[in-house]
Structure formats: C-alpha cells, structure tokens
Amino acid sequence: MKYLSILFIIILFSLGSCKKSENHLKVETMGSIIIDSKKAETLIQISYTYSDEKENILKKFNEDILEKYNVTQEIYNLSLDYYINNPKEMEELINYLKHKNTEANVD
C-alpha cells in the first residue's frame, strides 16, 4: 500500500510535465524527495482537518522540500517524466524506495 501511495505521488507530480529529461535527478535525490514528500503528506493528513488548508500546507511543504535539495519544480517534473518513461530507471527508483523503507522499519 505504501508503494501505491508513492507511485500515486509520482504520477500526480508528473501530470504537468511533457518534456523528455536529459538532465534528470539521480535516483538517490529523487527518492529522498519522494520520501520527504510522503512524510510531509502523512504529517499533514493527521494534523489538519480542512482539505483546503491541507492542500495549501502540502504545497508549501513540497516547495520547502525541493528547496532543501536545491531542485526547481521544473527539474523535478522533468525528472518524474524521465523515470515514468524509462521503466528500467523507474524500477531502480522503486528499489531505492523499498530499500529506504526497509531501513526505516529496521530502525
């Protein structure tokens, strides 16, 4: 179920992207951004009741996360498009996320 949520986030962020990425984010950076975004989404879901408020706060969190990794929304969208259109690289990204999830469950 966690992986479906992550895949859903990837698809949502990719809706605005139509270009092929030549300069995409590395798996580790992309995975870390996705993990941080999912953590933020979970925190917001349990902390706030109004959906408009949740949406605005999540948008701000995601902006802050991209800033943390020094990544623009455009580069992030292009990277999502790259991974979605390259199954082998997408599999590598998913394996990275699974590995990080396993590490988090062990700690």
Per-residue pLDDT, 19: 44
Question: Please, are residues 42 and 6 in contact by the beta-carbon 8 Å criterion?
Answer: no
d(CA 34, CA 13): 10
pLDDT in tens, the chain (107 residues): 555 566 556 655 554 444 444 689 999 999 999 999 999 999 998 888 777 788 889 999 999 999 999 999 999 999 999 999 999 999 999 999 999 988 887 76
Question: What whole-number distance in Å separates Cα of residue 53 and Cα of residue 94?
Answer: 30
Q: Which amino acid is at 91?
A: E
| Among the listed residues 40, 30, 42, the one whose alpha carbon sits nearest the alpha carbon of residue 89 | 30
State the pLDDT at residue 103. Answer: 85
